[in-house]
Homo-oligomer: A and B are copies of this chain.
Amino acid sequence: MTPRTPRPRERGIPEATVARLPVYLRALQGLNERGTPTVSSEDLAAVAGVNSAKLRKDLSHLGSYGTRGVGYDVDYLIYQISRELGLTQDWSVAIVGIGNLGRALANYGGFGTRGFRIAALLDADAAVVGDRVAGLAVRHIDTLEDVVRGEDVAIGVIATPAAAAQGVCDRFVEAGVTSVLNFAPVVLNVPPGVDVRKVDLSIELQILAFHEQRKSDGHAADRAERTGSPT
C-alpha cells in the first residue's frame, strides 16, 4: 500500500474543463456516428475547436484513458465523459413559463436524447394551463411543489418574464431543486448550494456588438479616407 497516496486525480475537476466536456462529448458522438473507432487529441481538438494541449489536459483530469501512439477509443471516451457528467442517469426537468420560449424548449427534441427528461410544464396563465405542448399537458404553477416531489425534478428551467423569475426560483428552491437554468434577464438570488446558470440572448448580442464596433473603429479611418461614396 502507498502510505501517501499520490492522488493522480482527486475529486476536483476545474470548472473551465467541465464546461468543455460537453463539447468534446458531442464531437465524439459525431465521430462515432461516422464509424471512427479511435481519435487523436489533435483531431478531436480540431473538431471541438480547441487547442490539443488543452484537450489532453482536460481529459487527464478524468484519468488516463488514451493510448500513446494511438489516441483515444471513441466509444470508451464517450462512456467516461458521460459518466463524469452524470449522464448515465436520467435527470427530470421542469419548465416554467410556457410562452414563446417555453414552447420552443418543450418541442425541442435534443433533450431526451441525452439523459434529460421533460417531466412537467408549468404556467400561471389559465388560458395556457391545460394546453398540450409536446405531448404534455401544461399544469398550473400552484402545483409546482407537488410536481417537483412527484416527478423528482432535479433541474428547474425558468422561461417566465423577468418579473416572475425570482418568485419561481424561490419556489423551486423551497421545493428542493438545487439546479436552475434561467432564461429571464434577471440576476437570481439563491442560497448557497444551489447552482444557477443563465442563458441571456441580449448579453450575447451586446458582446457581439462590442466587438463589431471595435472592428469598425479600427478600420473606420482607413475606410473614410479611401471612400468617397456613402457606406
Contact = CB atoms under 8 A, between A and B. Distances in A.
B110 A213 contact: no
Interface stretch (A15-23, A122-130, A138-146): A15-23
Nearest to A50: B187
A86 B27 contact: no
A-side interface size class: 35 or more
Interface of A: 11, 18-19, 21-23, 25-27, 47-49, 84-87, 89, 91, 93, 100-101, 103-105, 107-108, 110-111, 114-116, 154-155, 176, 178-181, 185-187, 189, 193, 195, 197, 199-215, 231
Given A114-B202, A178-B215, A201-B110, A87 B185 contact: no
Contacts of A178: 212, 215
A87 B206 contact: yes
